[in-house]
Structure 1
Amino acid sequence: MPNKKPSLIKQLSLKSRLVLAAIVWLTAMIIAAGVMVPSQVYNYMVADTKSQLSIYMDEITANLEVDSKGKLTLSTRLSDPRFTQPYSGLYWKAQTSDDQLRSRSLWDRTIHFNKAKTKAFGAQDEPLVFIKSSIYLPEYKHPISILIGTDEQPLEDTVANLMGELWVILALLYFGILTVIFVQIAWSLSPLNKMHKELNQLRKGEKTSLEDDYPRDIAPVVSDLNALLFHYQELLERARHHAGNLSHALKTPLSVLKNEIQHLPIEKQAPLQEPLQQIQSQIDYHLGRARMAGAKNILSVKSSPSERIDAISMAFDKVYAEREITLINEIESELEVAVEQTDLDEMIGNLLENGYKWANSLIRVYAITDKENTSIIVEDDGPGIPDEQLGNVVQRGVRLDETTPGTGLGLNIVSEMAHSYRGSIELSRSNMGGLKACLSLKTSH
């Protein structure tokens, strides 16, 4: 199945995730405060206004009378002069089924309602904050409905002014808290930034281990990483020593056996030649595997393909001088890959040797690079390999032409060595007619 591309959220760094979460949370809280606080203040002011109106209601109720003609009258003037000032914004009215008494502030108008009877309007059609009540007087048998209202606009103006000031305060609070969060995140993640710098130094070969003065949350990871690096370097050094010792230990006995076989009759040489060749192939294969162990400092390795190709081609020009092969190296000298030099020599050397063996006259080497990977491409104008056999030639011991000297291990070693460096090799038909080998390796930064 094809690999799914990770989502944009999953690709965010830890710092970006923390900042994004803080911005989302803080923005939600500020907006909630900006919406809820004015609403709560408005409700409080309305409740306070109605509380004040209830005092007027008590005053009106205490002074409301019915005269001898059955008409409603107010026995004394109310304490608030706005009730007598026309269109003052403070109104009252008392109403029965056949009579109505109202404040002078209403002048020639009256308090009226919308169709739903939920909103009251004053003398100038201004919305009112109002309360109403029904009372009974001993001398009057019908209920008396009393309504007191005051202009709502001053409350809305007060809340609007408050909102303007509130948003300024919330904006300052927003950016202030955000700044503190940025500082806190930067300080909290500084050990990870330090680790990143040290890993870069490890990659460049300036260090062999990380420092041990990290916070205790990260200290176990650093300790384990240092132990892993030390263990890797020790294992690699030991494996290479064993490979070298094995090579020297077996070289002399094999040479003796080969020389002794030459003195035997021809009919007795053939049965012994094949087992010796198998032993030699196994030794070559496993020594090649040992050489694939990688670099002593895996994080700091880098090599120049252009430089190594020039050096290897000079040797092959002498070895295969009679074939008169021309190699064109188009790789820039500044390009470097994250592979140890001896391992890069092993991989490129095998690819170039195949080219020198099979090319008619020309080998072309070039590179395609991106931010993470470098593809070193070796093409020749030889006979190439049939498409159905391209997948088989990288297997151990496979040789398509038994008449050409070799063990059949070259491309297999290249494949496994590239894999150990998180790379790969692909074979295909070249536009030049021969074989096209694409060796993909990590780009060194």
Structure 2
Amino acid sequence: MKLRSLRLRLLFMALVANALALAISGVGLVYLFERHVEQRIDSELETYLNQLAGLVTFSPDGAATISTPLSDPRFNQPLSGLYWQVGEDARGTLLRSRSLWDATLALPRDTLGNGAVHRHELQGPGKVPLILRERSITYRTAGENRTLRVAVAIDASEARTAARAFAGDLIPSLVLLGAVLLAAAWAQVQLGLRPLEEIRRGVGAIRSGHRRRLPGGFPEEVTPLTEEVNNLLDAQDKAMEQARASAGDLAHGLKTPLTALAADARILRERGEAETARNIEEIAETMRRHIERALTKARLRSGQRIATPVAPLAERLIQTIRKTPLGSALQWENAIAPHVLAAIDPDDLAELLGNIVENAAKWAATKVRLSSAAQGETTTLLIDDDGPGIPEKSRTAVLERGVRLDQTKSGSGLGLAIVGDIVEAYGGQLALEKGPLGGLRVAVTLPAATATPHTSRH
């Protein structure tokens, strides 16, 4: 399973690295502690060894004795784990501590230099592992030299028990340290990834129309990314301007032939050829609509999302259409809230509302109303008329074919195909419903915007 989150990847790597480092540190600390305990034990045994060597005396008959018992009470406690023994190679074991009871320490057969101290690990009473320190000492008695092997041993499990106790105390501390390190790694990851989060928010602000470019001031590692994003936006703006210029040139180039066709149609109508004139006019109108739609699509390929106030633009459209024969006889109501902003280019919004309002004016009986509804991150624009509307069966069929109402029978709302293209380009939705005025309701849902609004050019 692959971790797709960069944050999770970094935290996982930090967790593994910290766990491995703490485990190695824990094992190393326990080992060092155990070595330290063993060194202390060796030092303690050597101290006992020196004391024992100094307490050995000989009676007039040559028997070895201990003049004073060693101070540690464990030497007098049977099988206490702390033992001493004095022996002679020729005569075997001479003396031993009470703690050995009836056992003896099986010293290894090695050659000891006079005064040299050797260390051994062997089994003692009850096969308990022991750490033993021994020393060979030569004593002068009654005119002869006698060499004794003096040994002191202690239960080796004491070091292991101390190491286990140390490990038991160490583990909670390492766990706490690991938690602190993981929290520090999390804070480091959060701080390190914050520029990427700021870039994400910046791109979102550009997408919603709050900004036009990413700001500067990012760390040098992500600055190339922000520069590339801004360069891409510059290229997009340039492409949009070129598309608009090409659209204007195309519209200019086709305007004269369409005007000529309209003039020819009037001439034919004056000559009494009304059917031919009507056919020419329908062809010219169809060509005009297709050109408008193609030009709109070309411009939408690089449109920008700009925080655009809807109410003033809608009011200007209403005032314009009121001056036409279609709109002069109608009652108009602009109920769009003044604060409503849509994340859409003002030109695109003007064309979108213009087509819907024109269609409503064409089919309304007496009234057209514009209103709005805010729904979280979207804004819905509602255009109602009291005309004949569209039957529910026809509305469903039209929507399934991509809102191409200009391909159905005449009177179904020319221009809504262009509206559908604009809405789709901005990630919105278009719905046709039965309106409260009795006619058609066109509901357009667009991304909302909350930034400082763009000043419309209309």
TM-score (ref. length: structure 2): 0.61
1:131 partner amino acid: P
**C-alpha distance 162-23 of structure 1, shift in aligned 2 (>3 A):** same
Residue 258 in structure 1 maps to residue 249 in structure 2: no
Task: Pick from 237, 241, 246 the counterpart of residue 248 of structure 2.
Answer: 241
Deviation at 1:274, TM superposition (A): 0.5
Tell me the residue number matched to 1:24: 12
Structure 1 unmatched ranges of 5 or more: 1-8, 60-73, 95-100, 108-127, 134-145
Contact 2:387 2:439 in 1 (8 A): yes
3-state DSSP of counterpart to 2:312:
helix
Question: Which residue identity is paired with 1:25?
Answer: M
**SS in structure 2 opposite 1:84?**
helix
The equivalent position to 1:84 in structure 2, one of 45, 58, 75, is 75
Distance 1:315 1:225, change over 3 A: closer
For 2:212 and 2:328, the matched residues in 1 are separated by 48
Mean CA deviation greater in 21-30 or 166-175: 166-175
Say whether residues 1:443 and 2:442 are aligned partners: no
* Structure 2 counterpart of 1:84, one-letter code: F
Alpha-carbon offset, residue 332 of structure 1: 1.6
1:392 equivalenced with 2:392 (yes/no) = no
1:83 touches 1:104 (CA, 8 Å); kept in 2? Answer: no
Instruction: Please state whether the residue corresponding to 2:343 is helix, strand or coil.
Output: coil
SS of the residue corresponding to residue 279 of structure 1 reads helix
Spell out the pairing of 1:12-51 with structure 2 (5 A cutoff): 17-18=6-7, 20-34=8-22, 37-42=25-30, 45-46=33-34
Query: Within the alignment, does 1:373 sit opposite 2:373 as a pair?
Result: no
- Give a deviation string over 1:152-187, Cα, whole Å, max 9, x none: 65444444555576567666655666665555555x
Percent sequence identity over matched residues? 16
Question: Corresponding residue for 1:289?
Answer: 294
**Alpha-carbon distance between aligned partners in 1 of 2:213 and 2:173, rounded to the nearest angstrom:** 59
Aligned to 2:276: 271
TM-superposed deviation, 1:428: 2.4
Q: Deviations over 1:3-59 (max 9, x none)?
A: xxxxxx87x6xxxx33x4333333444345445543554355557767968x97xx9
One-letter code aligned to 1:325 = Q
Q: 2-side partners of 1:102 and 1:369: how far apart?
A: 99
**What is the 5 A alignment of 1:142-221?**
148-151=155-158, 154-160=162-168, 162=170, 184-185=192-193, 189=195, 193=198, 197=202, 218=225, 221=228
Q: Distance in 1 between matches of 2:369 and 2:274?
A: 42
Say whether the 8 Å CA contact 2:306–2:344 is kept in structure 1: yes
**Native 8 Å contact 1:294 1:420 kept in 2:** no
Amino acid at match of 1:24: F
Alignment partner of 1:245: what SS? helix
For the aligned residue pairs, the C-alpha RMSD in angstroms reads: 5.0
Say if 1:43 and 1:202 are closer, same or farther in 2 by CA, change over 3 A. Answer: closer
1:97: which partner in 2? none
Q: Runs of 5+ in structure 2 lacking a partner?
A: 50-63, 86-94, 102-125, 132-152, 451-458
SS in 2 for 1:229: helix
Distance across 2 between alignment mates of 1:296 and 1:287: 15
Q: Which has the larger radius of gyration?
A: 2
Distance 1:165 1:208 in 2: 50
Change over 3 Å in CA distance of 1:239–1:85 after alignment to 2: farther
What is the CA–CA distance in structure 2 between the aligned matches of 1:163 and 1:205, rounded to whole Å? 53
Distance 1:411 1:382, change over 3 A: same
Q: 1:183 to 1:381 in 2, by over 3 A?
A: closer
Quick one: distance in 2 between partners of 1:357 and 1:441?
24
Match for residue 120 of structure 2? none
Q: 1:160 to 1:398 in 2, by over 3 A?
A: closer
1:228 alignment counterpart? 235
Using a 3 Å threshold, how does the CA distance of structure 1 residues 426 and 269 change in structure 2: closer, same or farther?
same
Cα offset for 1:302?
3.7
- Per-residue CA deviations over 1:82-120 (Å, capped at 9, x if unaligned) read 6416599744699xxxxxx9964599xxxxxxxxxxxxx
Distance 2:96 2:389 in 1: 111
Offset of residue 305 of structure 1: 1.9
Distance 1:88-1:48 versus aligned 2 partners, 3 A rule = farther
Task: State the Cα distance separating 1:286 from its structure 2 match.
Answer: 0.7
Greater CA drift, 316-325 or 297-306: 316-325
CA gap 1:235/1:288 in 2 versus in 1, 3 angstroms: same
The residue type equivalent to 2:371 in the other structure is Y
Q: Deviations over 1:249-279 (max 9, x none)?
A: 2254224312321342x2x442343134212
Deviations 1:188-246 (A, max 9, x none): x47x84797599579869868999x9769638944861563254134323223213312
Select 1:354's aligned residue among 359, 369, 377. 359
The TM-score normalised by the length of structure 1 is 0.62
Provide the rounded CA distance (Å) in 2 between the counterparts of 1:129 and 1:380.
Answer: 105
Higher relative contact order (CA 8 A, sep 6+): 2
Secondary structure of 1:332 counterpart: coil
2:348 maps to 1:343: yes
Q: Determine the C-alpha separation between the residues in 2 that align with 1:160 and 1:377.
A: 72
Counterpart position of 1:314: 319
Change (3 A) 1:371 1:353: same
Alpha-carbon separation, structure 2, partners of 1:40 and 1:129: 29
Inter-CA distance 444–317: structure 2 relative to 1 (3 Å threshold): same
Matching residue's letter, 1:330: A
CA contact (8 A) 2:296 2:418 kept: no
Change in Cα spacing, 1:40 to 1:275, as seen in structure 2 (3 Å) is same
Q: Where in structure 2 are the equivalents of 1:111-130 lying within 5 Å?
A: none
